[in-house]
Structure 1
Amino acid sequence: MNRPGLRERKKIETLHRLQEEALRLFDEQGYDATTIEQIAEAAGVSPSTFYRYFPVKEDVVVQDEYDPLIVDVFESQQEGTAPLEALRAVLTALFREFTDEDIERVRRRVRMIFSVPALRARQVGQSAATERLLAQMVAQRTGRSAEELEVRHFTALVVASWTVAISAWAETDGTKDDLAANLDKCLAHLEAGAPL
C-alpha cells in the first residue's frame, strides 16, 4: 500500500482530530446538543475548515479516509485475481496498517452510529456510495459495466457482508471478536456461496 505524502498525512491528522473531539463532545453532552462550532473550536480549527472535511455534522462520524486506500490496494492486485479474492486482500492490507487507536476510533464511531438515528440514516447513504465505488472497481477489473445487475448485486452483497461483520463486532463493543477476522470470515463465507 502506498504511503500517503506529507500533505495527505496532515489532512488525515486533522480529520482524526475533528472526529476525536466530536466523539468526545457527543459522549459528554449528546449528539443533538453538540454544534459544529463547538467541534471546530475543540479541534482548534475554524468552522469553515470543518465543512471542508465534512459537509454535514453526521459525516464527522460516518465518513472516513479508507475509500482511496481500498481503491489503491484493489488496483494493485495481480491481474486475473477474482474480485472477491482481491477485496479480501484489500482488507488484510488495510488492517495491517491499523493501530490500536484506529480500531478504537472505529469502535467509537460504530457505537455512535448505532445509537443515533440521524447517523444511521446517513450511514445508509454512505453504504450506497461504497457500493457504487466497488461497482466501478469490479467493473474495471472484469471488463463489465458498473450498471450491470450482476455487478451491482455482487457489490451490494459485499457491503452487506461488511455491515454484518461490523455489527457483530460492535454488539460486543469490540471486546469479544476481532474486526478484521470478522470481515474476512464474512467475505470467505460469501466466497463459498454462503452455505449454512
Structure 2
Amino acid sequence: MSLRDRQRAETRLLLQEHAIHLFTDVGYDSTTVADVAAAAGVSAMTVYRHFPTKEDLVLYDEYDPVTASAVAAQPAGPLPRRIGRALESTAALGSSQEKAFLLARLRLMISVPALRARHLDSQYATADAIVAALDCSSPDAEFRARATTMACLGAAHVALVRWAETDGEADLAGLIRQALTSVFDVY
C-alpha cells in the first residue's frame, strides 16, 4: 500500500469513527454530514470525497474482496461449506477497539431503517464478489452459486444480529457456523 493509499485509509477510518460516535450519541437522523466533518476537523467536501452518502459512513468496509479471496482459497467441497468457512474466517476480530467499532456499526445497521435497506443492497455486492471468485463455468452453475451465497450471507446476517444482541460476547465465528448448520445439512 502506498503512502497516499495509507493516508486515505486512515482518513476514512477517522471519519467513520467520528460518524459512528455521533450517530450513536446524537442519533443517525439528527446528525448531518457537516456535523461529522466538524467533529473530524475536515470539510464536508472531504467527507463526501471518501463517502458519497451518509449511509456509506456506516456501511463502508473492505469486506467484499477479503471474503471473495477467502472463498477462493477454500479447498474443494460442498459450496455451503466453502462459503461458510470463508465467512467464519473473516469473522475473526482483532483488537477490542475493532470489536467495539463493528458492534456499533452493526447496531446502527439493525436499528436505522435506511441503513437496513442499504445493508441489503451491500449483500448483493458481497454476493457478486463471492460468485465472481467462484469462477462459475455456466449460467446454471452461477445460479446455484448465487443462491447458495445469498443463503450463506443471510445466515451470517442472523448470526451477526445474535452477536450484537449478546453485546459482542458470543463467539461470532461459532454463531456463523451454528446459523449455517441450521440452514445446510452438509455444512
Cα separation, 2, equivalents of 1:6 and 1:192: 47
1:40 deviates by 2.1
- 1:150 matched to 2:147? The reply is no
> Is the aligned partner of 1:105 residue 2:101?
yes
Q: Residue by residue, what CA displacement relative to the aligned partner does 1:56-101 show, whole Å, maximum 9, x if unpaired?
A: 10111122122122223333445x3554443344345434463222
Cα distance between partner residues in 2 of 1:75 and 1:191? 20
Question: 2: distance between equivalents of 1:36 and 1:147?
Answer: 43
Q: Which residue of 1 aligns with 2:114?
A: 118
Q: Secondary structure of 1:38's match?
A: helix
CA distance in 2, matches of 1:50, 1:17: 10
Please say if residues 127 and 149 of structure 2, whose CA atoms lie closer than 8 Å, have aligned partners that are also in contact.
yes
Q: Tell me the equivalent position of 1:184.
A: 177
The residue that corresponds to 1:14 in the other structure is 11
TM-score when normalising by structure 2: 0.83
Q: Aligned equivalents of 1:28 and 1:89: distance in 2?
A: 35
Q: Which residue of 1 aligns with 2:124?
A: 128
Structure 1 residue aligned with 2:72:
75
The residue number in structure 2 matching 1:53 is 50
The CA deviation string for residues 119-142 of structure 1, in whole angstroms up to 9 with x for no partner, is: 11111111122122222222x0x5
After TM superposition, the score normalised by the length of structure 1 is 0.80
Q: Distance in 2 between matches of 1:86 and 1:6?
A: 35
Over aligned residues, Cα RMSD in angstroms? 2.6
Does the CA contact (< 8 Å) of 2:131 and 2:145 recur in 1?
yes
Instruction: Tell me: CA distance 1:29–1:73, structure 2 relative to 1, closer, same or farther (3 Å).
Output: same
Mapped pair 1:32 → 2:26: no
Aligned to 2:165: 171
Structure number with the bigger relative contact order (C-alpha 8 A, sep ≥ 6) is 2
Q: 1:162 to 1:93 in 2, by over 3 A?
A: closer
Does the 8 Å CA contact 1:18/1:60 hold for their aligned counterparts? yes
With over 3 angstroms needed to count, the CA separation of the structure-2 counterparts of 1:157 and 1:93, relative to structure 1, is closer
Partner Cα separation in structure 2 for residue 146 and residue 56 of structure 1: 36
Shift of 1:191: 4.6
CA, structure 1 residues 171+86, in 2 after alignment: closer, same or farther (shift >3 Å)? same
